[in-house]
Amino acid sequence: MPHAAHRVVNSYQVVVANVPAGSHGPREPGQFLCAANADGLVVNIKVLGRHPVLGVVSLFAHHMALLGPHPARWYSLPILRPVRIG
């Protein structure tokens, strides 16, 4: 049975779930994050494996730049540099 928790990450409401191996699908344990309304976008992140390098909360909080659904507003949020994961 997955264990889910509601959290606030970077001012977004998210649901984080830890799913054990063999629970209705994946053969490896996993972490899942769902942000149903992140600047008008739905964001889902899934990380599988027993020892992930980064967790889903860290990926969402520190390694994503959400620009929003309106391209005309993207200029106000420039991406400064690429992020290397791993």
CA 28/CA 32 separation, integer angstroms? 13
The pLDDT confidence band at residue 80, using thresholds 50, 70 and 90, is: low
Confidence check: pLDDT of 23 > 60: no
Which of 12-21, 48-57, 60-69 is predicted most confidently? 12-21
DSSP secondary structure, 75-86, as one string: GGS---S-----
* Whether the predicted pLDDT of 24 surpasses 70: no
Record the pTM: 0.69
- Identify which of 71, 70, 78, 12 has the alpha carbon closest to the alpha carbon of residue 44: 12
56: which 2 tokens?
């889903």
Q: What are phi and psi of 66, to 5 degrees?
A: -85, 115
Domain ranges, ordered by start, for the chain: 3-76
pLDDT digits (tens, 9 = 90+) for 26-53: 678 889 999 998 878 889 999 888 877 7
Cβ atoms of 18 and 31 closer than 8 Å: yes
